Structure 1
């Protein structure tokens, strides 16, 4: 399947469906049909609107959409984004809040590179902005990166995180969500050996596959079932002529999306059927729950082939992070070398992507870290999305994370300042 024609064929199918939706919407919405009212035209127009919007979203990078936040002074403060460290495969982006006093917590959110854009963590960013100075890793769509920029695999990803942390300084708190959790742990360990002064204050790992074998899911079962040869043959394609990355080998976003949808096909089918009926009845809205969710969910990006294949082979199949055998440029990164960074893991009891047990395994690898600097939290009833963006995050997990950051930034126990400081509410210690 590593042919440009295959990639272009998938794009042609998407484009055709978008055109069919637009055609159905325009045809069935013609005022002439008002002369002979028939519910069939309303249904056809509704189907067209939903179909056109859905297929159009697949090639559009969502906007952050964060315009203002409410400050402690009761005023709205304008929010703007700026790239502070540009890189070919991803930038370090800063959310600048105008007129808001400097916030003591500097936070780097490591967004996942797993098929969706960094805007997937929009609500996480929004929830932290009033209390934190927020930075985010904004990964680029591989289809837009010329072949001349070279490769990008999990070792390059790790070194990107190392560079970002060096730029931000040692007073940084890192939140790694899902896919980047093992690589954020590796980057911290890399700094512990190579540049201890650049280590972050704390590392919060949320729903990440540190040890995929700790608890089976559909994702881990797929990793065991498919050989690397099969994966390379059937999942990898070359970017078509339409984009700047023409000729680059990628795991296409459209192919990823088909996999995402098939995992919960019945639920997605019902959601779209209900939305078509809502459109026909006039009860749907531009920013209703369906459109808000699927505008983000359907916006997918290509990953470089080497990043996708190395993730499957080295993280899931070989378990290099779980065995503390991960290497960068031929040199082993010893996770046990981390001795001063406070580390917290967060898992959802109902997470079917990174099941409970996969993320908390990080604490056992941190053999050089005192137990007092480790914490874990298991959120009852929460799924994968809920532990970083849903009600569970807002009401329960976020306060624990902020308290953990404050505790990690406090003076060491035994000092006069520490003795005088009240102990914050914390997650359960490991």
Structure 2
């Protein structure tokens, strides 16, 4: 159980840093220091507050924080989050808008399981709610899932998506962001072969590694440099004693966070230095831009070891999706069987996680689709986060995606009812 001690040691380090921050904040905030006109105490208090908050966030699941949405009638409508399917490793949730009629657009957002909670898509959900009925895959933290609930690997993830799509029906528009893009493509192909009537109306893939070899990044280089044995030795640990999932093998969220930060270390260090100075001057705020971003960014979750390792091996090393040889429960998933689901890919020109070309590879795999049912967009100057949650998404990508939904919803209705295309003479 060496991994348990590593996991608990890492948690102890996090806990200690949280305590150091709280202690520094409390000590430097004593009124008596007002008699000593030295800025050190304000800086120390600011450092303590930011350090305490940052390390505390790492074990807190963020709230969705979406409480109202403005309807077509100009009134605020309450938002009620409901669980439609509850499963051990993830739920299908709906953002129900009270007092509003069902919307013609219904969207399933497939959230990434790559270290952050599904709330990473909070702004994406908020931007779609005024125009769509929105459903989201809400993945659970592996450290909170007892070992008795069994395994969860890439095939289980695919079958979860298949179940969610079947439940929502064929008029649903599926939008997969980042990590789940190849799995959402595989789930759609699985339905095309096993249950064609349950296929979604459209599939939008945003910044996902369909073919990691199409454009190298630090993420793909990491997968190439190390063997599966080395990766397992370096990052897989047993969940510690105080969690419900004690003993479960996971890729810990804290390790993932360290790798995220290391990719842009200078930028993060500068952001925290600037925030400490602002706090010392009294210019910070509870929900300022820094805290809004890092409250979400620092909140991380563990992934099951089998999911992480099977993703690395099958998506990145063996490229099973890119080579169209992915199997689920021994059944070949042929992406070429997708013939009635319009597919759109969205990429960011400056994306350093899923570089341009990786996601666009999906269109070449959809050999059963005519070109009229394929669409793509490369957003100039946009990084990974911006293509689904930033200014680029709000101003440019979201309108294109909504138009893609509408065009292909109408096209699907015409294909199902060919008499509608006959003009009266």
* Counterparts of residues 365-384 of structure 1 (less than 5 Å): 365-384=365-384
**Matching of residue 357 in structure 1 with residue 357 in structure 2:** yes
* TM superposition score normalised by structure 1: 0.96
Distance in 1 (alpha carbons) for counterparts of 2:37 and 2:71? 52
> What does the per-residue CA deviation read over 1:269-315, in whole Å, with 9 as the maximum and x for residues that have no partner?
00000000000000000000100000000000000000000010000
1:77 counterpart residue number: 77
Deviations 1:175-195 (A, max 9, x none): 000000000000000000101
SS in 1 for 2:130: coil
Structure 1 CA distance for aligned equivalents of residues 7 and 304 of structure 2:
14
Q: How does 1:3-402 map onto structure 2 within 5 Å?
A: 3-402=3-402
Distance between the aligned counterparts of 1:407 and 1:73, measured in 2?
A: 25
1:54-81 per-residue CA deviation (whole Å, 9 max, x = no partner) reads 0000000000000111111111111110
Q: Structure 2 unaligned segments of length 5 or more: list them.
A: none
Of the candidates 406, 414, 421, which is equivalent to residue 412 of structure 1?
414
Match for residue 423 of structure 1? none
Q: For this pair of structures, how many residues does the alignment match?
A: 420
Q: Look up the SS of the partner of 1:412 in the other structure.
A: helix
Measured after TM superposition, the shift of residue 412 of structure 1 is: 2.7
Q: CA RMSD in A?
A: 1.2
- Report the secondary structure of 1:126's partner residue: helix
Describe the SS at the equivalent of 2:357.
coil
**Distance in 1 between residues matched to 2:291 and 2:245, nearest whole Å:** 30
**Does the CA-based 8 Å contact 1:2-1:249 persist in structure 2?**
no
Alignment TM-score, normalising by the size of structure 2: 0.97
Aligned-pair distance for 1:32? 1.1
**Partners of 1:264 and 1:402 in 2: how far apart?**
32
Query: Secondary structure of 2:320's match?
Result: coil
Unmatched 5+ residue regions in structure 1?
421-430
Q: Secondary structure at the match of 1:262?
A: helix
Q: Per-residue CA shift, 1:303-330, capped at 9, x if unaligned? A: 0000000010000000000000000111
Stretches (4+) displaced over 3 A: 413-420
Deviation at 1:97, TM superposition (A): 0.4
- Tell me by how many angstroms 1:331 deviates: 1.4
- Per-residue CA deviation, residues 308-363 of structure 1 (Å, 9 max, x unaligned), is 00010000000000000000111110000110001000011111100000001001
Q: In 2, Cα distance between the equivalents of 1:272 and 1:371?
A: 47
Deviations 1:30-72 (A, max 9, x none): 1111122211100100000000000000000000000111111
For the structure 1 residues 263 and 419, does the alpha-carbon distance in structure 2 shift closer, same or farther, using more than 3 Å as the test?
Answer: farther
1:132-153, Cα deviation, whole Å (9 max, x unpaired): 0000000000000000001000
Against the structure 1 CA distance between its residues 243 and 329, is the aligned structure 2 distance closer, same or farther, given a 3 Å change threshold?
A: same
* Residues 2, 233 of structure 1: 8 Å contact kept: no
Alpha-carbon distance change, 194 to 415 in structure 1, aligned in 2, over 3 angstroms: closer
Structure 1 residue 102: Cα displacement: 1.5
Counterparts of 1:232 and 1:146 in 2: how far apart (Å)? 21
User: Displacement of 1:416 after TM fit?
Assistant: 6.5
Q: CA deviation at 1:371?
A: 1.4
Q: In structure 2, do the counterparts of structure 1 residues 283 and 318 end up closer, same or farther at CA, with 3 Å as the change threshold?
A: same
Per-residue CA distance 1:195-230 (angstroms, 9 max, x = gap): 111100000000000000000111111110111111
- Asked if the contact 1:2/1:236 (under 8 Å) is kept, the reply is no
